[in-house]
Amino acid sequence: QIQDLTFLTKNYCLTELYLNNNELTDISGALKHLCALQILLLHNNQLTKLGKTVKELKGMISLQTLNLFHNPLAQDLDYRLYVIHFLPSVQLLDRKSVTQRERKSALHLYNHKRSCVVQSIAFGKKFYLPQGTTEGSIRYTQPARRLMMLSGCEFGDHRNKVPFENPEDAILARAMTRSLMEFSSVDWSKVATCQERRLENKAEESPEKLTVRFR
């Protein structure tokens, strides 16, 4: 029949806390100092405010197991996704493992802009392509052309600012030796976290990587 949690104010090192089957209506200001907490059972109480309850638990970066079922707040729309999004360290919620699909849905629901960024994120890098080398799906639409340099003329020769007989040849020569830009995109929602790899204890499948190269 516990209704007040002020007696916990000096218990900073708790890692497990079982408060289920009591008469708690609000935990605001009572648990936020328990940063080392890993297991918290609050099921079968009278907690009604989902936002305030989750806000109280946000500082618990080690919290892995959380029970909130059989509380009025558990009837809120998208209750489970809300808790998963704002308490990302939780691995077991209401006796059910948090899946990668649920994390993806929670991110899409509560942070749609970031979800779009995650889906489209790419890493760019430059690499040198020697003259005359073709790479991947790159296609050169310009016809092959013999590049004729005037005798005695080289790049940087101040005697002749145009070392090629045809200025277009100089442009083509530079284009053929210009570096390429490569972008690789990965769907991070399909990449398991370190904790998931430890829990599943199985070989991780390599995520699909899409690479696009262009000049």
* Whole-structure pTM value: 0.54
Asked, for residue 148, whether it belongs to a domain, the answer is: no
Containing structural domain, residue 208: 178-214
Burial of 93 (0-12, 13-18, 19+ CB in 10 A): buried
189 and 89, same domain (yes or no): no
How many distinct structural domains can be found in the chain?
2
Asked, for residue 170, whether it belongs to a domain, the answer is: no
User: Counting runs of H as helices and runs of E as strands, what totals does the chain give?
Assistant: 6, 8
CA Rg value for the chain: 30
Asked, for residue 209, whether it belongs to a domain, the answer is: yes
Asked, for residue 32, whether it belongs to a domain, the answer is: yes
- Among the three residues 99, 117, 135, which one is the final residue of a domain in this structure? 117
Nearby residues of 86 by Cβ (< 8 Å), 6 or more positions away: 54, 55, 58, 110
Asked, for residue 76, whether it belongs to a domain, the answer is: yes
pLDDT at 153: 44
Q: What is the pLDDT of residues 18-76, one digit of tens each?
A: 999 999 999 998 999 999 999 999 999 999 999 999 999 998 999 999 999 999 999 99
- Among the three residues 96, 117, 138, which one is the final residue of a domain in this structure? 117
CA atoms of 63 and 35, how far apart (whole Å): 8
